[in-house]
Amino acid sequence: MDFDFNKLERDLLSKIEEIIKDESLPNPDISRHAKPNEIALVLRAWLERLGNSGFLAEPAGPGRLAAQLELAHRSPWLALASDIGSHVLCDLISRHGSDEQKKAFLEPILKGKKIAAVAASETLSGSVQKTMNTIAVKNSGGFLLTGAKSTVSLGPMADIIGVLGQIKEGMALFLVDRGQPGVEAGDPLETLGYRELCTCPIALHDVIIEPERIIGPFDSSKVDLLQELRTAWDQVMGAVACGTMRLCLDQARAAADVKRTHGKPPAGYQSVRFSLAEMLTLSQTAEILVLRAAWAAASGDPQAASLGLCAKVFATKNACEVADKALQIMASAGYTKPNPVERALRDARLGTIMGNTSEVAQMAIADNVLERF
């Protein structure tokens, strides 16, 4: 047992701290009036910085998670946007892709040269495989992919999109260039939070997919791509939730010391101090839990799946709680835009939905418990 970071983990953490130190990270409010192409410019610049440092290519584990958490502490949006490609999509490619596919697709994403997105959900199927209507049929040059994805984060700005769809033999991952004929990204949807992700629908009309851009198909009883995708999202959302909690704590603490009510700062009132104590308790507890889950996943612990779900549910639920408490301490100042806590409260709400929803995760946790006893 060792609760300290080892040297490699410390080095990685230092690396990310160095990158984000004294830098003007993407303004939390950049998207209020920004268009996808303007946001893409900011994102590309940061992905390149992160990619050049080697950070995006770091393997999963407590060190990577701690660094991602620290990045999210400064900019939850950037942490999430960078992980969609380098973690969620690249995990699938590195696990199931051929050597040629890894060479062709991993490097540009991990070097920060390309923005990546993942397209799985559909209006009528969510992320359920058997009702998924994105289908590829064979033609002379490969496959023709047709379907409609309802919510694709980074959709309008992505260079490459990992599309989950069905072939006769099972589910496959199709690596699609957004500029390909037949790929049509819709207007960004009005979302509660994470507006800079420009989540949009994507329509696919007979998109020609060459065989080297297909990973799979897989027999779903052996490889469950959707579940793997949700697990990756869970890890990402857990780290981002923890970073969000740190951010909210910073803001609330600062506000509690400064803003004055009846002649004393909010921190002069016991109820405010207790609220801050509860926020810190939830934040620290969540961090240890997500780090332990990351360690379990990286070390092949047999309880890793269940622990990962516990961590995701706990961290994302309590990020909402902590953001809400922070806003309450900041009062009207927290309720008005622009401020990071107002935004964090909206953003945090994605955590309980993305990947395995809290409800789905809780059912899986309970199934695991029932199996054991």
- Which of 3, 99, 168, 211 is in the footprint of another protein by CB under 8 A? 3
Binder to another protein among 276, 297, 322, 330 (CB under 8 A)? 276
How many residues make contact with another protein (CB under 8 A)? Answer: 47
Question: How would you classify residue 126: left for phi > 0, otherwise alpha for psi between -120 and 50, otherwise beta?
Answer: left
Which phi-psi region, left, alpha or beta, contains residue 154 (left: φ > 0; alpha: ψ -120 to 50)?
Answer: left
* 8 A C-beta contact, residue 13 and residue 63: yes
Could you say whether residue 367 binds another protein (CB under 8 A)?
A: yes
Q: Which stretch binds another protein (CB under 8 A): 46-54, 74-82, 225-233, 304-312?
A: 304-312
- Per the CB < 8 A criterion, the answer to whether 163 and 134 are in contact is yes
At its nearest, how many Å lie between another protein and the CB of residue 298?
A: 10
Among the listed residues 261, 274, 336, 338, the single contact to another protein using CB under 8 A: 274
Indicate whether 313 belongs to the interface with another protein (CB under 8 A).
Answer: yes
Beta carbon nearer to another protein, 6 or 336 = 6
Describe the crossing of helices 270-299 and 225-258 by its angle, rounded to 10 degrees.
Answer: 150
Contact by Cβ (8 Å): 319, 348: yes
Minimum CB–partner distance for residue 5 and another protein (Å): 6
Q: Report the residue from 113, 253, 259, 346 that binds another protein according to the rule CB under 8 A.
A: 253
Encoding tokens for residue 41?
Answer: 């410019």
Contacts of 120 (CB under 8 A, 6+ apart): 127, 149, 164, 226, 229
The span of 106-114, 229-237, 275-283, 338-346 binding another protein (CB under 8 A) equals 275-283
Beta bridge partners of 153: none
Q: Using the rule CB under 8 A, which residue among 51, 63, 193, 217 binds another protein? A: 63
Question: Does position 257 bind another protein by CB under 8 A?
Answer: no
Dig out the tokens for 252 from the structure: 């609330």
Q: What is the CA radius of gyration of the chain?
A: 21
- Does 365 sit near another protein (CB under 8 A)? yes
Contact 242, 286 (CB under 8 A): yes
* Residues 355, 358, 362: CA angle, nearest 5 degrees: 115
Among 288, 331, 336, 338, binds another protein (CB under 8 A): 288
Nearer to another protein, 96 or 295 (CB): 295
Which letter does DSSP use for residue 106 in this model?
Answer: I
Q: Does 284 bind another protein (CB under 8 A)?
A: yes
**Candidates 2-10, 115-123, 158-166, 221-229; binding stretch for another protein (CB under 8 A):** 2-10
Dihedral of alpha carbons 229, 242, 84, 158, sign: positive
Find the shortest distance in angstroms from Cβ 34 to another protein: 35
**Residue 260 beta carbon to another protein: minimum distance, rounded to whole angstroms:** 18
| 361 touches another protein (CB under 8 A) | yes
Residue 61, classed as helix, strand or coil, is coil
- Both tokens of 355, joined, read 């990947």
């799946």: which residue's tokens?
305
The reply on whether position 277 binds another protein by CB under 8 A is yes
Query: Which region among 50-58, 94-102, 125-133, 295-303 touches another protein (by CB under 8 A)?
Result: 295-303
| Integer angstrom CA distances of residue 287 from 5, 64, 88, 114, 314 | 13, 13, 20, 30, 10
Contacts with another protein, residue ranges (CB under 8 A): 1-6, 9, 62-63, 253, 267, 273-274, 276-278, 280-281, 284-286, 288-289, 291-292, 295-296, 299, 301, 306-307, 310-311, 313-314, 359, 361-363, 365-370, 372-373
